[in-house]
Every structure is written in C-alpha cells, then in structure tokens.
Amino acid sequence: MKKISSALISVFDKGNLDAIVEKLNNFGITIYSTGGTQSYIENLGINVTAVEDITDYPSILGGRVKTLHPKVFGGILNRRDLKSDQEQVAEYNIPSIDLVIVDLYPFEDTIASGAGHEDIIEKIDIGGISLIRAAAKNYKDVIIISSKEQYPSLLQLLNEKNGESELEDRKKLAGEAFAVSSHYDSAIFNYLSDDNIKLRVSEDQSKVLRYGENPHQKGIFYGDIDALFTQLHGKELSYNNLLDVDAAVNLMNEFKEEGPTFAILKHNNACGISTRDSLKEAYVDALAGDPVSAFGGVLIANRSIDEETAEKINSLFCEVVIAPDFEEKAMELLRSKKNRILLRQKQISMPATQIRTALNGYLYQEKDLISDAASSFKQVTKKGITASESEDLVFASKLVKHTKSNTIVLVKNKQLLASGTGQTSRVDALNQAIDKARHFKFDLSSSVMSSDAFFPFPDCVEIADKAGITAVVQPGGSIKDQLSIDYCDANNMAMVLTGIRHFKH
C-alpha cells in the first residue's frame, strides 16, 4: 500500500475535476498545478501550489514549456526505495509527487473540427505526454490518471482505500496510460505522414463479443459502433452479424440516391435485392430472389420502414433489420421477436481504406470506391444496349462489386435474379447463377449479366446466350476479349466494357 501525500494536476478539460480536487483536499493531499488548472482549483477555494514555485522558473514560450523541469520529473520518477535517489531528492529539494492527473490537448478533435495546420500542430501535447509516461513508468510508487474517463475509478479508489493505493491498482492505471500515449502518438503520425509505408492503427473503444466466428473463438469489436447505429431492439450483435452488417451497409451505400431499395444478405453476399416504386414491393421482390437463403439473414433498406413493409418482414426469421428510420407502428411489429436486432443507421463518413491480417503481417488497401455508371460503358458489339438494359447493367455492376469472387450476377428489371458467388471458375459461377434463377422460377429472357472480371474465353457469353441473357457488362482486358465480342456479334447480344475490375476476396 502507498499513501498519497501529493498530487500534480494539469488538465486541458476541467469537466468533473471539482469532485476529485475536493476529495484530495479532504485527505490533506498537497496539490501542485499550473496555468488554467491552477486558477480553476483556486476558484474552488482550495489551496494549490504553483509549479513555478517549485521550479523557480516561469511558464515560457506561450505556455509550450511549463512542467518540463527536473524538479517536476524528479518528483515523479524518484524511486522511493532507492537510497541514492532519495539522497539526490533531498540535495536538490525535490518534492515527491505520488499522483499525477493529466489529460492531453484534443489533437484528434482539432483535426475533425477542420482547423488549420498551425492550430493542429499547437495541439500536439508535449508536457502532458511526458508526465503521463514518467508517472506510468514509475507505477511502483506513483498513480497516473491519464483521462477524465478514469475520474470515477479514482474517486472509488480514494474512498475504498482511504487515500492509499495498491501496486495492482497503479500497474493497471499505468497500462491504460501507455494506451493513451500510444494512441495519441499514432494519431499524430497518421496526420503528419504523407504515405502509407509505415502502419499505425490505434482504437481505444472496444466491445467484447459473445464469441468470434465460431463459439470456440474469442471475438472483440474495436471501434465506436454507436457512432453508426442506434440499436432500437434485440440481442447484442455477434461477430458474424457485424460482418454481414458491414457488407449490407457497403452494398446499400451504392443505392442511397436510388428509389426505394431493399436488400437481403447472407454470409456477406446479397441473396436478394430490388428497387421498386414502394419499399414493400422492393422487399417482396428482394425476398423472391432467394427465400431460402433469406432465413436468418440481414435486411437493409434505403428508406424508412413503414407498417406495410414491416408486416411482410415480420413473417420472416431474420437476424438484423437496418434502415434510416422505422415508423412507430412498424417498430411495434418488428419488436414482436425479442431477439431481432433493429438498427437505425446514422449518416457518417465511412473509412476509405481496409486492413486485414495476412500471414505474419497485414494487408492494407484503398476501398473499391469506383461505381460503374452508364456514362463509363464502352460499347464493343454491333448491337447496342437499350435504355432498360443500361439501367439493369448499372444495377448488376453495383451488385457484382459487393459479391465474393469469382462471381456472376444476373439482373432483370432492377431485381437480382441470382448470383454465382465465390467460385473458383467463372463458368461455374455463371452456371450456379442460372441454375439458381431457374430453381426459383425466374424467366431469364431479356435479362443482363455482370462479371467482376474479364472473360478469357467466349464460353461464358455462349452459356448466357443460350439461357436467354441479352446484354453483358464486364471489365474487359483479356488478350482474347475479341472472341467473346465476336460471339456476341454473331448471336445478336450486346456487350459493354467498363475497364474496371471488381475482385472481392
């Protein structure tokens, strides 16, 4: 046990500090401070010693240098059980500091505010980060409070242990302090770095999940899920739910400016999606794409869910329903299943990059943010595409981009008829899609086909032609592109190229 006799307090945000200061004062703990924090404590009517009175040196350079002094850091870093340290402390009249309370300049918030470069640089904390590291290093003797989120824990510690602390308490807080300092330094590095040659990722917020992909695996989500969704009902999101929700959000982002659109996803792939005049019609036609796979799926809409749509949804067992909003009566209906997760999606900017583990390291890439538009289509066949085919080809291209490779997507009248997903052969993907569409009684005549990559041979367009497909969109780029084009010309099919491949692994 270590008794707290003195404390150094230097914080940017004074919120909720009064309760801490008053508690320290009640225990008779000497308080040292500087600048605005000192004034704040004095205004509470509590005695405080200015750091300048210890160092005999004023705050200089516009406040850039205040606590950076041997008498401050000696007070923190001296080892209480080491004779030579204590002799030097006595020789130089250095007061020991047992508790350090610091928070850092809001660097990330300053960036987010749109502030200029000079203002951002001024929010790089020097003294605070140094105090945190010093106190955390000497946790054997010193308590470090590095965030105002720790104030309740400190108050509890002071109350329960009567102004003292145990080594276990101090070690835990030291670990949290280094988490704060490393996150802060990562944010500065990422701001100043002009390239991505070095990788620094830091996320303070985390949520322990029930388990990972399977029950025997541990799972944790790192990030602020509440910034993206308000959960209105249901159980906690699982690891697999989060992967499906991520896929759903990315897919529906392609259709946010379109008419009422509804999608159903399973294992990160769309098994149904359609755009219609009403959301109810969009849901009904999305479900028709694969009513079997929809069981236990993730549903997402680009419009507020109304009562009529909710009545249809309610008869399906589904894990998650996502929408910009839910009408009150729709909410009542959907809440009838206690475990069904209802998420109101907020409109925030999503990350533009992706990171995943691979072998003994990480893979980093920009997200595939290019969406194929009709204006980017290059006609390569004698027969051109009709207006309705053009709309369907754009629809299919958006879908193929979010479907696991190798993939072929079949669309008609802005409705997914079927897709072949995750196949080792593009021919297999096409055959899978055709078989599935026929299984659910879809008429493939006058439908369109999208491929995530080029056709090395004309076999796919030949199979598509015989199934009734009349128009094709693909990136092109094969040295044998002309073979597929020639087949289309000989069989009255239309083909357009985009020049953009959309692999998804």
Residue 100's beta-bridge partner residues? Answer: 8, 144
Active-site annotation holder among 14, 23, 137, 312:
137
d(CA 15, CA 4): 23
Degrees, nearest 5: CA angle 338-339-344: 95
Backbone φ, ψ for residue 408 (5° rounding) = -130, 135
Q: Are 440 and 290 in contact (CB under 8 A)?
A: yes
Structure-block tokens of residue 287: 């479900």
140 is a catalytic site residue:
no
d(CA 424, CA 82): 67
CB within 8 Å of 164: residues ≥ 6 apart:
1, 2, 3, 4
Contacts of 117-120 with C-beta under 8 Å, sequence gap 24+, read 120/191
DSSP string for 443-493 = --TT-EEEESS--SSTHHHHHHHHHT--EEEE----TTHHHHHHHHHHTT-
266 is a catalytic site residue:
no
- Residue with token string 């300049």: 105
Backbone φ, ψ for residue 54 (5° rounding) = -85, -45
Active-site annotation holder among 14, 233, 267, 383:
267
Q: Are 66 and 51 in contact (CB under 8 A)?
A: yes
Q: How many residues does the chain have?
A: 505
145, containing H or E segment: strand 143-145
Q: Which residues are catalytic?
A: 137, 267
